[in-house]
């Protein structure tokens, strides 16, 4: 059987590979440059829990622990070898659920070129074909038109609204839920996306 982690996925000049401690400088630079681009859509921790902002090392350590216990696939997206964004398959559940969530962001300088839909398709294909998961879910704020285009391009099913589902940019926000099941695909999601 293929190892759960580390995993590298590749399509053209887009690679999904593990986020590593040595990515610190490039990752921080990209984040700093794109602060305004992300803020409105950024997950936050409610003030009363006073956890403070996680450092890059804490983020990598937490994600790596999740990967080690087969609960997450923490990918960084690279485009022509440059760190461009992140895509995380998280909350992987087994048993009678076999499901996971996907979250993502990409730097503004790489946006609008279809990289995120391709990255999500690659991650979903891996989850269905290799991990044999049954269902993948993506939660999006109704105001996030750019992200809504990503799931639209992928043909994910809209299932409804979860009120105040996630703490984003300082408050609890409603999210629309989009999902896809493994048996809805007759070919890989990457080839379906490339044909569309
Ligand atoms: C949402 C996001 C990941 C989309 O990634 P992407 O790789 O640009 O995806 P696409 O290339 O398919 O572009 C999606 C839409 O974004 C919009 N868009 C693209 N570039 C843009 C830019 N520079 N400025 C404003 N909108 C832009 C377009 O409407 C595009 O749709 P179109 O292809 O029909 O024109 C990216 O915009 C992002 O990281 N945003 C900030 C963080 C975020 O919202 N994360 C998702 C939380 S659910």
Confidence of residue 3 (pLDDT cuts 50, 70, 90): confident
Residue 50 predicted with pLDDT over 90: no
Residue 27, domain extent: 9-195
Distance between CA atoms of residues 190 and 196, nearest Å: 10
Confidence of residue 47 (pLDDT cuts 50, 70, 90): confident
Confidence of residue 48 (pLDDT cuts 50, 70, 90): confident
pLDDT at 54: 85
Contacts of 30 (CB under 8 A, 6+ apart): 83, 84, 85, 107
Nearest CA to ligand 1 atom 45: 105
Of 51-60, 66-75, 118-127, least confident by mean pLDDT is: 51-60
Confidence of residue 11 (pLDDT cuts 50, 70, 90): very high
Choosing from 35, 37, 111, 165 the residue with most ligand 1 atoms within 8 A of its CB, the one to mutate for a pocket test is: 111
Contacts of 180 (CB under 8 A, 6+ apart): 124, 135, 136, 154, 155, 156, 157, 189
Nearest CA to ligand 1 atom 13: 112
What tokens appear for 62 in the block? 């937490």
pLDDT at 145: 98
Distance between CA atoms of residues 87 and 143, nearest Å: 20
Q: What is the CATH number of the domain that holds 153?
A: 3.40.630.30
Residue ranges around ligand 1 (CB below 6 Å): 37-38, 41, 104-106, 108, 111-117, 140, 144, 146-147, 149-150, 153
Number of domains in the chain: 1
pLDDT at 2: 74
Q: Are 77 and 119 in contact (CB under 8 A)?
A: yes
Q: How far is the CA of 147 from the centre of ligand 1 (A)?
A: 6
Distance between CA atoms of residues 93 and 7, nearest Å: 18
Compute the average pLDDT of residues 24-35: 96
pLDDT digits (tens, 9 = 90+) for 137-175: 999 999 999 999 999 999 999 999 999 999 999 999 999
Confidence of residue 53 (pLDDT cuts 50, 70, 90): confident
Share of the chain above pLDDT 90, in %: 93
Q: Is residue 3 in a domain?
A: no
Q: Is residue 2 in a domain?
A: no
Confidence of residue 14 (pLDDT cuts 50, 70, 90): very high
- Averaged confidence pLDDT in the chain: 96
Distance between CA atoms of residues 27 and 86, nearest Å: 10
Nearest to 91 by CA among 74, 113, 79: 74
Distance between CA atoms of residues 49 and 134, nearest Å: 34
pLDDT at 60: 94
pLDDT at 49: 81
DSSP H or E run through 129: helix 115-129
Residue 194 predicted with pLDDT over 80: yes
DSSP H or E run through 171: strand 171-181
pTM above 0.85, yes or no: yes
Q: Are 73 and 67 in contact (CB under 8 A)?
A: yes
Q: Is residue 4 in a domain?
A: no
Q: Is residue 16 in a domain?
A: yes
Distance between CA atoms of residues 162 and 55, nearest Å: 29
Contacts of 102 (CB under 8 A, 6+ apart): 87, 88, 89, 90, 120, 123, 124, 136, 137, 138
């Amino acid at each position: 059987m293929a190892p759960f982690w580390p995993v590298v996925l590749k399509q053209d000049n887009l690679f999904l590979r593990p986020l590593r401690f040595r990515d610190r400088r490039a990752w921080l630079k990209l984040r700093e440059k794109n602060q305004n681009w992300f803020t409105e859509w950024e997950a936050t921790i409610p003030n009363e829990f006073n956890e403070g902002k996680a450092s890059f090392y804490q983020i990598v350590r937490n994600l790596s622990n999740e990967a080690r216990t087969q609960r997450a696939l923490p990918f960084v997206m690279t485009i022509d070898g440059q760190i461009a964004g992140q895509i995380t398959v998280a909350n992987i559940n087994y048993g009678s659920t076999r499901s996971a969530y996907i979250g993502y962001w990409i730097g503004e300088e790489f946006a609008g070129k279809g990289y995120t839909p391709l990255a999500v398709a690659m991650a979903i294909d891996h989850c269905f074909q290799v991990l044999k998961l049954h269902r993948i879910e993506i939660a999006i704020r109704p105001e996030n038109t750019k992200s809504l285009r990503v799931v639209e391009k992928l043909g994910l099913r809209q299932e409804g609204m979860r009120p105040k589902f996630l703490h984003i940019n300082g408050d609890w926000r409603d999210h629309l839920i989009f999902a896809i099941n493994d048996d809805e695909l007759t070919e890989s999601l990457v080839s379906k996306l490339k044909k569309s």
